[in-house]
């Protein structure tokens, strides 16, 4: 298995633009997580899904952020409109619902909002 | 919600010495405690984990201990090597798969 796949790996955009980050979890995993990592706030859980259903979105910073999981092999995190303070590394992770809680992280998307 | 505190924030050790990182958690219902290692520019990767029914777990040079009464757990790295230099994160979960991470410890192993 290729592991968790994220795209793009790097994104540079201007304030006010829409940004869409993409994630493909490991096949067979039924949990998917979106994290944001910054120096100031560390690793923050934004939202997680179980069987494509959002379970907890309490970490989503504001209405500008939205996430979807239309099927078991694809998820998106959208920021609209983007702001400079959204600059961070965004990680997607996936795990099995049974057999342990290990979360496998993707390589991350480094977002820079100018 | 769960609050995980991690100390120290930075740790410098001589190669061959031991390194210890400590974490405390607030939610007594937490029952799963993983440790992740993140090398510069890379993704976090699980290195060891422990569940609340176990007090200690070892895997070669790394070990984790858990004190449920005091609500703290620790990572021990023995015979440190240059490749152990990284940021280490502790985390806690109450079994709902939602991990709360500590702020991280930057470990530097001096040759």
Best residue of B4, B23, B44 to probe chain A, by most A CBs closer than 10 Å: B44
- Rounded-to-integer distance, Cα A13 and Cα B4, Å: 33
**Short-list B2, B84, B73, CA closest to B34:** B73
**Short-list B59, B1, B53, CA closest to B26:** B1
pLDDT for the residue A99: 46
- Rounded-to-integer distance, Cα B95 and Cα A47, Å: 16
**Short-list A94, A64, A93, CA closest to A78:** A64
Is residue A101 scored above 80 in pLDDT? no
DSSP calls for A65-78:
EEEEEEETTEEEEE
Q: Do A42 and B104 touch (CB under 8 A)?
A: yes
Q: Band of the pLDDT at A98, cuts 50, 70, 90?
A: low
Q: Which of helix, strand or coil describes residue B47?
A: strand
CA distance B101 to chain A (A): 6
- Rounded-to-integer distance, Cα A27 and Cα A98, Å: 14
Is residue A1 scored above 70 in pLDDT? no
- B100 touches B94 (CB < 8 A): no
Work out how many CB contacts closer than 8 A connect A with B: 48
Q: Which two tokens stand for residue B48?
A: 């060891």
Mean per-residue pLDDT, A32-43: 94
For every one of its 111 residues, what pLDDT tens digit does chain B have, with 9 covering 90 and above?
Answer: 789 999 999 999 999 999 999 999 999 999 999 999 999 999 999 999 998 888 899 999 999 999 999 999 999 999 999 999 999 999 998 877 788 999 999 999 999
Mean per-residue pLDDT, A13-23: 97
**Residues in A lying within 8 Å of B, measured between beta carbons:** 31, 33, 42-45, 48, 50, 56, 58, 91, 95, 97, 100-108
Chain B residue numbers touching A60 (CB-CB < 8 A): none
């Amino acid at each position: 298995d290729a592991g968790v796949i994220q795209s793009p790996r790097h994104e540079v955009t201007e304030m006010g633009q829409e940004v869409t980050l993409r994630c493909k979890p490991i096949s067979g995993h039924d949990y998917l997580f979106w994290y944001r990592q910054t120096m100031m706030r560390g690793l923050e859980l934004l939202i997680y899904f179980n069987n494509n259903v959002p379970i907890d979105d309490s970490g989503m910073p504001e209405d500008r952020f939205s996430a979807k999981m239309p099927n078991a092999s694809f998820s998106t995190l959208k920021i609209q409109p983007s702001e400079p303070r959204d600059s961070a590394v965004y990680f997607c992770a996936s795990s099995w619902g049974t057999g342990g809680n290990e979360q496998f992280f993707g390589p991350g998307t480094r977002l820079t909002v100018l | 919600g769960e609050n995980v505190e991690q100390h120290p924030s930075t740790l410098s050790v001589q190669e061959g010495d031991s390194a210890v990182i400590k974490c405390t958690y607030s939610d007594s219902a937490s029952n799963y405690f993983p440790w992740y290692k993140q090398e510069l520019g890379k993704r976090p990767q699980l290195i060891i984990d422990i569940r609340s029914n176990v007090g200690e777990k070892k895997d070669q040079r790394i070990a984790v201990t858990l004190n449920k009464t005091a609500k703290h757990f620790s990572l021990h790295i023995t015979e440190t090597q240059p490749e152990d230099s990284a940021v280490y994160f502790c985390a806690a979960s109450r079994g709902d798969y939602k991990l709360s991470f500590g702020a991280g410890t930057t470990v530097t192993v001096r040759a």
